[in-house]
Structure 1
Amino acid sequence: MNNTLTAALFIGIDVSSKSNYVYGMDFFGNKLLSFQTSNNNPGAEVIAHEILQCLKKNSLTHLNIAMESTSFYSWHIANFLSCHEELLWFKPKVYCLNPKVIANYKKTFIDIDKTDPKDAMVISDFARVGKITTTPWKVSQYIALQRLTRCRLHIMENITREKSYILSNIFLKFSELAVMDKSDRPFSNKFGATSSAVLTEFMSTEEIANTDISQLVDFLVDKSKNRFKDPMATAKILKRAARDSYRLDKSLYNPLNAAIAASFNCIKALEKEVKTLDKAIERAVKVLQTHEFECLCSIYGIGPVFAAGITAEIGDITKFNNQASLAKYSGLTWRKKQSGRFTAEDTYLTKTGNKYLRYYILEAAGSILRFNREYNDYYHKKYNEALIHKHKRALALTGRKLIRLIFALLSKNQLYTMNDDADKAINS
């Protein structure tokens, strides 16, 4: 039997916003610790002191600490215990575990209560039986960059939500504009400056329909800064759409205009913040000067922001054994559905991994399509093969292909060059 395991203390911590419940056992499952303390610096000092006393009292030489990755509440305690000077003598390994894994393991205990002490005991036992497959916690040098890239995704999600919301109000005011086919639309960007001006500065669709064509052309030229190739044709499309749209009671136009204007203002403000964050991300990643960032930027189509987002979430590539484990971490894997001789063709993306990494991988994959013929051809091949969800499925598969390239480049510390010799070296 491994002497390291028999001489180890296994700690499980149930983390919450205000308190931490600590449970400790030895390799044979004997209870050695059980107490609760506050989730702050004094409370962390108490945890470290009690663990030290337990280690010395029971002549244990190694320390394994496990806790659920509970949002950001577990970050401080994990960082504190992994860096505590006195605990370093016992070679501490701190693990932040996926709550889903612990929830499934808890089901193996028959008729167990849902309490903090029981939850901490289950986490401790999970560590004791050797079920942990993740790498130990490391003080992340990427944490500052990660805060920026995650904040950027948060704002992008808000922009998407606001754009989805405004569409309902646009349909109520200008029904035809909201449902026109892409090829027939007067504006390439429904949320652009010209579209915003038309929707907010004209009181109603009747006003657009009754406006003189030359005046409407001048309006479009002014708001678009003369970017329309054929402003007369655009004006005609706009007038026709206005004539074909539903009419509303006049009392509805003022409230709708105010709501649409508020949404456009929110979108504009959020997009401005995204640009500010992009600059901050570029500054932050230059301070790190990591080879991972340089390797990713060598892939034509991946700019500083996407490269920074991927770098911040992957961190040290050596913690992944292969490209498959990196794909699983990002949630870009598919569950098999098989029973007897039946194997389902329609499989679902797991999406159980790191959603931030998955977002930046897929954004980068979409960007690469414009510059890399191999990836563009692969995307369209998968697009044509899919029966449903064509774009989403093709993009996810392209992202999975990109993960193989990213793993190869980072693990070999190699820059990407678009030639056959480099591709053979990467795939070898």
Structure 2
Amino acid sequence: MSMYFVGIDISKYKHDCCIISAANQKVVSKVTIENNKSGFEELLTIINSLSNPADIKIGFESTAHYALNLELFLENSLLTFMEVNPVLINEYKKSKTLRRTKTDSVDCESIARWLMTVEYKPHPKGFYHAYSLKSLTRLRDKLIRQRSFYLVKITNVLDHTFPEFKPFFSERFSKTALYLLENYGSAEKMARMNSVSYEKLRSLSRGKFSPQQFLQLKELAANTVGVNNSIFDVELNSLLTLYKSLDKEIYILEKEIIKLIEEIHPHYMSIPGIGPLSAAVIYSEYGDISNFSNSGQMLAFAGIEPGINESGTESHGGKMVKRGSSQLRYTLINCCIPLIRFDMTFATYYAKKRGEGKPHRVAITHVAKKLIRVIYALERQDIDFNTQKLR
């Protein structure tokens, strides 16, 4: 059986395909299919007429979400495919010609020919979970940023109307604090709170909001230097509504994220400090760990590795490259904070780096590197975390 290489140039409404045989013959110079069911079935008919699915190698560039429907169709049709970094295809085209030609037919042929030169690494099956988690976790991250934005705006309003309010709650917007803002809003109304008001606050805080705190807040409200202005009340109500709406959506997203990641339940969820939401980000960004040949590739993927500057007889290690997913990098480093509190081996490693004179952030980055190596080992060996086996 002959091997066939299918290069597909992905776009929003259509996909262009080129098929080349192992004998370097163009079986299909270019065919354009629509990004819909009939277009996909047309492509499947062409592919099925060629050979056994095992002898078909399909490749296309990573193009955000435009390829998702085609990927699902190919997987359901028992066909494999390989996602290609667009930079690699661009470099390949440059190596073959000095002309700056970019057309759909050139692109799909370049992908097909590039496939002939590399080891074929099919995209892992079941990728839809990873894609779903990536969409949900990134949306959650955006909504959290928006929610933080509105919290800042709420603080700005309180600086005008009741500047003593937030310091009273230790600069945090607890459930009790938000309840007060929603139901009373102004310092003038809080100053008039009564015993019924206190009972609601005590119940909401599960008894943590004491009578002394209640009286102290009333006194602060009565003697505030803030301005009582109805315009600020309107602004505060609008901001609180937006904040609550975002908070609700984040809660819904988190429930769905937790449900998905618990179905997968990767081994690194057994590491202290990695909860379901952090595990979801790690899984969504890394995907199938078996795609990485070693932990060094995972470090590079997250951008947690030093840059190297080499020239002539000199070689210098630089700052962390910070390429790859910033969300993945942020999550991994954040996981290290509770990790050094709850696991002695990681705590000792952190203390060792600090003892070498490294600042906190640099030491935590080293812990994150160790964490990545542990994650790689757990998934490749199909085992849960055991601190006794750490070195």
Same fold (TM over 0.5): yes
Tell me the CA shift for residue 405 of structure 1: 0.7
Aligned with 2:381 (options 390, 394, 412)? 412
Please say if 1:126 is aligned against 2:126: no
Asked if structure 1 preserves the Cα contact closer than 8 Å seen for 2:193 and 2:218, the reply is no
Please say if 1:227 is aligned against 2:208: yes
Alpha-carbon distance change, 254 to 326 in structure 1, aligned in 2, over 3 angstroms: same
Asked if structure 2 preserves the Cα contact closer than 8 Å seen for 1:93 and 1:136, the reply is yes
In the alignment, the residues of structure 2 paired with residue 213 and residue 376 of structure 1 have an alpha-carbon distance, to the nearest angstrom, of 49
Q: Give a deviation string over 1:301-323, Cα, whole Å, max 9, x none.
A: 33445445545655544332211
Letter in 2 for 1:112: R
Which residue of structure 2 lines up, in the alignment, with residue 370 of structure 1? 341
In the alignment, the residues of structure 2 paired with residue 230 and residue 379 of structure 1 have an alpha-carbon distance, to the nearest angstrom, of 43
Tell me the CA shift for residue 178 of structure 1: 8.2
Please say if 1:326 is aligned against 2:298: yes
In the alignment, the residues of structure 1 paired with residue 73 and residue 254 of structure 2 have an alpha-carbon distance, to the nearest angstrom, of 34
Alpha-carbon distance change, 166 to 138 in structure 1, aligned in 2, over 3 angstroms: same
Alpha-carbon distance change, 308 to 275 in structure 1, aligned in 2, over 3 angstroms: closer
Asked if structure 2 preserves the Cα contact closer than 8 Å seen for 1:186 and 1:238, the reply is no
**What TM-score do the two structures reach when normalised by structure 2?**
0.78
In the alignment, the residues of structure 2 paired with residue 241 and residue 324 of structure 1 have an alpha-carbon distance, to the nearest angstrom, of 61
Which residue of structure 2 lines up, in the alignment, with residue 280 of structure 1? 259
Tell me the CA shift for residue 36 of structure 1: 0.4
Asked if structure 2 preserves the Cα contact closer than 8 Å seen for 1:82 and 1:138, the reply is no
**Mapping of 1:126-205 within 5 angstroms?**
126-130=114-118, 135-140=121-126, 143-144=128-129, 147-148=132-133, 150-174=135-159, 185-188=167-170, 190-205=172-187
Which residue of structure 2 lines up, in the alignment, with residue 11 of structure 1? 6
Count of aligned pairs: 387
Aligned with 2:56 (options 57, 60, 63)? 63
Report the secondary structure of 1:113's partner residue: coil
Which residue of structure 1 lines up, in the alignment, with residue 41 of structure 2? 45
Tell me the CA shift for residue 417 of structure 1: 2.2
**What TM-score do the two structures reach when normalised by structure 1?**
0.72
In the alignment, the residues of structure 2 paired with residue 237 and residue 380 of structure 1 have an alpha-carbon distance, to the nearest angstrom, of 46
Tell me the CA shift for residue 10 of structure 1: 2.4
Report the secondary structure of 1:136's partner residue: coil
Which residue of structure 2 lines up, in the alignment, with residue 89 of structure 1? none
Alpha-carbon distance change, 137 to 242 in structure 1, aligned in 2, over 3 angstroms: farther
In the alignment, the residues of structure 1 paired with residue 268 and residue 213 of structure 2 have an alpha-carbon distance, to the nearest angstrom, of 45
In the alignment, the residues of structure 1 paired with residue 197 and residue 225 of structure 2 have an alpha-carbon distance, to the nearest angstrom, of 17
Please say if 1:347 is aligned against 2:320: yes
Q: Which stretch of the first structure deviates more once superposed, 255-264 or 224-233? A: 224-233
Letter in 1 for 2:8: I
Q: Which stretch of the first structure deviates more once superposed, 218-227 or 364-373? A: 218-227
In the alignment, the residues of structure 1 paired with residue 194 and residue 76 of structure 2 have an alpha-carbon distance, to the nearest angstrom, of 71
Letter in 2 for 1:160: R
Tell me the CA shift for residue 360 of structure 1: 5.2
Tell me the CA shift for residue 356 of structure 1: 6.6
Alpha-carbon distance change, 416 to 54 in structure 1, aligned in 2, over 3 angstroms: closer
Alpha-carbon distance change, 211 to 346 in structure 1, aligned in 2, over 3 angstroms: farther
Asked if structure 2 preserves the Cα contact closer than 8 Å seen for 1:23 and 1:35, the reply is yes
In the alignment, the residues of structure 2 paired with residue 193 and residue 42 of structure 1 have an alpha-carbon distance, to the nearest angstrom, of 53
Q: Which stretch of the first structure deviates more once superposed, 62-71 or 272-281? A: 272-281
Aligned with 2:83 (options 59, 83, 96)? 96
Tell me the CA shift for residue 236 of structure 1: 6.1
In the alignment, the residues of structure 2 paired with residue 321 and residue 160 of structure 1 have an alpha-carbon distance, to the nearest angstrom, of 35
Q: Give a deviation string over 1:333-389, Cα, whole Å, max 9, x none.
A: 343345564736433311x25x675565445434423311332454566679566xx
**Mapping of 1:25-36 within 5 angstroms?**
25-26=20-21, 30-33=25-28, 34-36=30-32
Q: Give a deviation string over 1:167-216, Cα, whole Å, max 9, x none.
A: 03421332698899xxx9432572321221343444445666x6689999
